[in-house]
Structure 1
Amino acid sequence: MNKLKILVVDDHHAFRNMLTSFLKSQRSVEFVAEAMDGEDAIYKTSRLRPDLVLMDIHMPKQNGIEATKIIKEKWPSTHVFILSMDVNEFYKAHLQELADGFIVKSSMKDALLAIIDGNCKMSLK
């Protein structure tokens, strides 16, 4: 089974650590890298070429929306999922046009397990 390379992008250190620890415990994950803002996410995507980027929206320097646009333009095969506390349906629909998906942070664990499983299956094709 091909294992996933994942980049976690969030400006909150504690949240990044929690999410990174959870992902590292999954057998289908090869490695997890971290970025603290959009600029860092673009740089690390260019260097590490992750299969999956989990991107927060509200961050300093460069927000997740701007960073996602650049990542999807430069590396279209990289899957980007937006992470947010906001469940506004209009907002969610707009972001899903830009990214590969949208995850509400409060229901993140089950959503991530489904995404990881789905991405692993896709990478085997």
Structure 2
Amino acid sequence: MLRVLVADDQDLFRAAFGLILGAQPDMQVVGEAADGDEAIALARRLSPDVVLMDVRMPGKNGIEATREICATTRAKVLVLTMFDLDEYVYDAVRAGASGFLLKDIRRDELAHAVRTVAGGEALLAPAATRRLLENLVRRPAYGPMPRLAGRLEALTERERETLTLVARGLSNAEIAAALVVTEHTVKTHVSHILTKLDLRDRVQAVVFAYECGLVVAGESDIADHTRD
């Protein structure tokens, strides 16, 4: 049974999300928070598997709350917002969020998103992912950051190749075809990459690959969405 905490400053949204998720046979809504500070306190006390997090809330906003929750608990954070703005996408991912969706998604998509994030995968709305990667590509060229680039030394040559293809938006099947290996082998490489680099999911791996200079503007195709 997946334990879900809903954080939103609007009663209507909290009630709606709670009803949708509470009706799922494999989910239990263990708490509701009306602001970021309450979300942090409840996440620490209730140990949810997933926190459904609004962005704009009084006190600590959703990005700040996400950062603290990801740093101090094992909960995965799925950020939902009505505001489809680039800085929210980038800041949410940097704060540790495993997913970013708009509030106009269908109820079945919401339940699927919670299950996906709880299962350890990253999930971003396709348009949001494109803008996230384009944001990274547009940033001024500063070359590899030594502190980050040095962490690449922990990876094997094949793992570095895999990370490069992940950052280019390829699916596991496409990576397997490119490297002439099985999908299971690709999943193993991705798991090792996340562990060695201390990253939460594939989206953070994409950000890392750009920021350390492994992938730079002009060398990669920006995918319409980040896939498993």
Aligned ranges for residues 1-125 of structure 1 at < 5 Å?
A: 3-75=1-73, 77-98=74-95, 99-119=97-117, 121=119
In 1: Cα distance, 2:71 partner to 2:118 partner: 22
Q: Match of 2:52, SS?
A: strand
Preserved contact between residue 63 and residue 91 of structure 2 (Cα < 8 Å): no
Q: CA deviation at 1:42?
A: 0.8
Equivalent residue of 1:69, what SS?
Answer: helix
Report the TM-score when normalising by structure 2: 0.48
Aligned-pair identity in percent equals 36
How far apart are residue 31 of structure 1 and its match? 3.2
Q: What is the rounded CA distance, in whole Å, between the counterparts of 1:12 and 1:27 in structure 2?
A: 25
Count residues with an aligned counterpart: 119
TM score, norm. by length of structure 1: 0.84
What amino acid does structure 2 have at the position aligned with 1:82? V
Shift of 1:121: 4.9
Unaligned stretches of 5+ in structure 1? none
CA RMSD of aligned residues (A): 1.8
Q: Distance in 1 between matches of 2:65 and 2:118?
A: 24
Q: Which runs of 5+ in 2 are unaligned?
A: 121-228
Highest RCO, 1 vs 2 (Cα 8 Å, sep ≥ 6)? 1
- Is the CA contact (8 Å cut-off) linking 1:28 and 1:116 kept in structure 2? no
Structure possessing the higher radius of gyration over alpha carbons = 2
